[in-house]
A and B are shown apart, each in its own frame.
Chain A
Amino acid sequence: MSEITAEQVAHLANLARIDLSPEEITRLTAELGQIVDSVAKVAEVATPDVPATSHPMPLTNVFRADVVVPSLSVEEALSGSTDRDGDKFRVPAILDEE
């Protein structure tokens, strides 16, 4: 069995910025343990001599000419926001007071 604990899941949820309920953490701890046990088998064949593949069709140096092309207008860019201040996104406080 894997060693995943509820504390660990709570920490991961915090890193992932998801405010999970205690019930969700309990359920996910059990599920994650099962899933990790199943997927850990990748280590059986991943020997040091095998190179990693991050991308199926590797491309390098994908550039375009440095010219201005049409882009979203300010109104378009802001059209999906829940809060705005003039031409800017308005966000809650970035820093906690503590």
Chain B
Amino acid sequence: MTDLTRLSAADLSILLTSGAVSSVEATQAHLDHIAAVDTDVHAFLHVAGASALAAAAAVDAQRAAGAVLGPLAGVPIAIKDVLATRDMPSTAGSKILEGWIPPYDATVVRLVREAGLIPLGKTNMDEFAMGSSTEFSAYGPTHNPWDLDRIPGGSGGGSAAAVSAFEAPLALGSDTGGSIRQPAAVTGSVGVKPTYGGVSRYGAIALASSLDQVGPVSRTVYDAALLHDVLSGHDPLDSTSLTDRWPSMAAAAIAGRVDGALTGVRIGVVKELSGPGFQPGVLQRFNETLAMLVAAGAEIEEVSAPSFEYAVAAYYLILPAEASSNLARFDSVRFGIRVDPEEGPLTSERVMAATRDAGFGPEVKRRIILGTYALSAGYYDAYYGSAQKVRTLIQRDFDAAFEKVDVLLSPSAPTTAFKFGEKMDDPMAMYLNDVTTIPANLAGIPGMSLPMGLAPEDGLPVGLQVMAPAKQDARLYTFGAAVEQLLEAHWGHTLLSLAPKLAPTEMFASEGGAV
């Protein structure tokens, strides 16, 4: 019997469509695997269980009745806890929203359900997506399946760990400064941040509204494309949603597998994103990949993006400024917990302040205070105003680069997965993890991370970041699928097949009679 949890979403889809496997069987296999390994990995904050099986049974019944279903109907999916789900708690990794069950679905959740995907549960994340390691989750960190003593990246470490631990073939993520791409890099999986406005943000609990974007998390480029096709499109409930008609990302990925797909592709290597401060093994795998691309017929040129040096600084002004406004909604009245002050009169203001003190963790407080500072009178022009100008300069750098090249490449993250606690006491060191991914968010362009090998010094996954001009998401999939095929042909296997096998926890093993 095939282990259904090891299949790609595309391969599982073939078995489901032919009737060889039912969605209930596939869903049960994933729930069993979650029960076996998630005590160690902790990718999930909530597992759907019975409701997932009910949704799977409904898809099976539709299929049996002869309904025409989409390619991902019956395929399980994990959902980042930042997305509102009307049948599951949605906490965004924060105590302030503990137990909150929203009265509505995020648009992407609705689309996923309508396409027949089976929500398995909600995945762990840094509180309100503020972090690069999941160590700032109020519910404890997620562990990297490659080494349980290391971080899975963040903020979407739960979604990345879920797919790389084979707990789900697909997941939803959100990317404000790298929260899809950096976890993909350090877990050996695939993640895509679409063009800003390409996917609806309605029902995504807002961090920084001008930067946030929901996107697919998977183990293969083609699987990400299939999910991207479900997610993209105009949503009148999100006033920043683009009205463009999008080409099929799945078709774009298939085009990348054709012989010669890399011939003549003009690749730009961003000088500022591959130098000092990067781990040697990360640079080694990056340079090897570039050499393989040249051998496959691509043309490589170094491009300079001088303003990128200021990207992290601009980001850590714009993000806290927007976050401090967005998080003002947590006022103890409409949703979330309420904590009354220990003494003194019960006024709305004092209850709100006590609630936010008890409900927000240290990183959220840090960023709200920083954002409040950046927006205050007398500092606004020097900080927030200047950061918005840097944003213009970064867009200009991208525009100049994309006049010369088709795609831009860099390592997805400067290092492989680090150990828990390594950067917890140094906010700026943690912020610099996102130096590679932040420019794409500031400019609104799409970006992808896919695995490009293991770093020789520690045997941990290294990610390749691909960036394309705004609205050219399809180009990411064509190029990404071509690179993935090139690398896997060279290795003779997928990168994730090298991940250590996770041992079932004792509790589960004894239930199964194994001990």
Contact = CB atoms under 8 A, between A and B. Distances in A.
Interface of A: 4, 8-9, 12-21, 24, 28, 31-32, 34-36, 38-47, 50-57, 59, 62, 64, 72, 76-77, 79-83, 89, 91-97
Interface of B: 100-104, 195-197, 210-211, 236, 239-240, 242, 307, 310, 312-314, 316-317, 324, 328, 331-338, 341, 345-354, 356-357, 360, 365-366, 368-370, 372-373, 376, 382-383, 385-393, 395, 427-428, 441-445, 470
B317 A42 contact: yes
A59 B239 contact: yes
Contacts of A94: 347-348
Nearest to A69: B236
Contact of B103 (A14, A16, A72): A72
A4 B337 CA distance: 32
A52 B368 CA distance: 22
B390 A80 contact: no
B372 A19 contact: no
A41 B309 CA distance: 10
Given A16-B368, A19-B354, A41-B313, A81 B334 contact: yes
B386 A93 contact: no
Given A56-B442, A79-B103, 11 more contacts: A16-B356, A18-B365, A32-B369, A35-B316, A36-B370, A42-B383, A42-B387, A56-B443, A57-B444, A76-B103, A80-B336
Contact of A56 (B100, B102, B196, B357): B196
B310 A28 contact: no
Contacts of A45: 307, 310, 389-390, 393
A92 B339 CA distance: 12
7 contacts: A18-B357, A39-B312, A42-B389, A46-B387, A56-B391, A77-B103, A96-B349
A36 B316 CA distance: 9
Nearest to A21: B357
A55 B196 CA distance: 9
Contact of A20 (B336, B365, B370): B365
B346 A92 contact: yes
B356 A17 contact: yes
A34 B428 contact: yes
A95 B350 CA distance: 10
Contacts of A15: 372, 376
A54 B210 contact: yes
A30 to B, nearest CB: 11
Given A28-B369, A52-B391, A59-B240, A43 B335 contact: no
Most interface-central of B197, B346, B347, B376 (chain A CB within 10 A): B347
A17 B366 contact: no
Given A16-B369, A31-B366, A31-B427, A53 B392 contact: yes
Contact of A46 (B196, B210, B390, B428): B390
Nearest to B360: A18
A93 B345 contact: yes
A94 B354 CA distance: 15
A55 B442 CA distance: 9
